[in-house]
Amino acid sequence: MIQAQNLSKLYGDSPALQNVSLDVAEGEFLALLGRNGAGKTTLLKLLALLTRPSFGSLSIAGVDQNGDWNTARRRMGLLGHNTFLYDDLTAEENLLFYANLYGVPDASHTCRETLETVGLASFGKELVRNFSRGMRQRLTIGRLFLHNPDLLLLDEPFTGLDDRATALLEDLLRAAHRQGKTIVLCTHQLELALKLAHRLLILERGKVAYLGPNQPDRMGQMRELYLQFAG
């Protein structure tokens, strides 16, 4: 699903990411860890095709730099720091907008189903401006899964979530993983990464400090490793 070779990203003269090579197979769950400023968001943005590498090559879902990025983008779901919800639209209209953008078949039905999944079925006709923070979070999570993406890219998705949204996202990620979706989760929460991921990528000052299996039966060692490079 992801093949990255020697990816580097410079901002001016400063390297945010240096020579990162990474293969992520279909169905894999990778956690991306590292201290503040280690380059996690930069790597996720590159994988989400939101920015271009300064050097190196990248292929996502079989599409390389010479191919049609939009084909790859349609297969992705991205959860970043922004909710990208429209306050002046209802919950249903927000979902319909994205469903149509992604060409989701039977969009109205899918949107109603999604509202149900995220516990907002009775609020579909409400303007999002009247929603609580938790409701917005759940709607954003619903939007993520709306077009049934094969590749989920998540940047600190659990930060600031209320308990209900946290449980919902965790359930949906586990279900997505069971369905064979590929997941890249950037997080500061080591426990969560150890609970969910197959493999860990720890970045240190833009370079790969560790790329290897998560070993849930060796929690102690995994914690030590994390503290060494990212604690």
The residues of the shown chain that bind ligand ATP, judged by CB under 6 A, are 11, 16, 34, 36-42
CB of 49 to ligand ATP, least distance (A): 16
CB of 42 to ligand ATP, least distance (A): 3
Q: Which amino acid is at 222?
A: M
- Nearer residue to ligand ATP within complex by CB, 12 or 105: 12
Give burial (CB, 10 Å; 0-12/13-18/19+) of 113. Answer: middle
- Nearer residue to ligand ATP within complex by CB, 142 or 157: 157
Taking CA 156 as the corner, what is the angle to CA 195 and CA 104, rounded to the nearest 5 degrees?
95
- Nearer residue to ligand ATP within complex by CB, 113 or 204: 204
- Nearer residue to ligand ATP within complex by CB, 96 or 203: 203
Instruction: Kindly provide the residue ranges of all beta strands, DSSP E only, lying in the chain, ordered along the sequence.
Output: 2-11, 14-24, 29-34, 55-60, 76-79, 151-155, 182-186, 199-204, 207-213
- Nearer residue to ligand ATP within complex by CB, 34 or 157: 34
CB of 104 to ligand ATP, least distance (A): 30
> 171 CB contacts (<8 Å, ≥6 apart)?
none
CA distances from 51 to 14, 18, 33, 69, 115 (A): 16, 15, 20, 12, 31
Identify the CA nearest to 29 among candidates 186, 217, 188, 156.
186
CB of 216 to ligand ATP, least distance (A): 24
Give burial (CB, 10 Å; 0-12/13-18/19+) of 82. Answer: exposed
CB of 108 to ligand ATP, least distance (A): 37
- Nearer residue to ligand ATP within complex by CB, 40 or 181: 40
CB of 4 to ligand ATP, least distance (A): 15
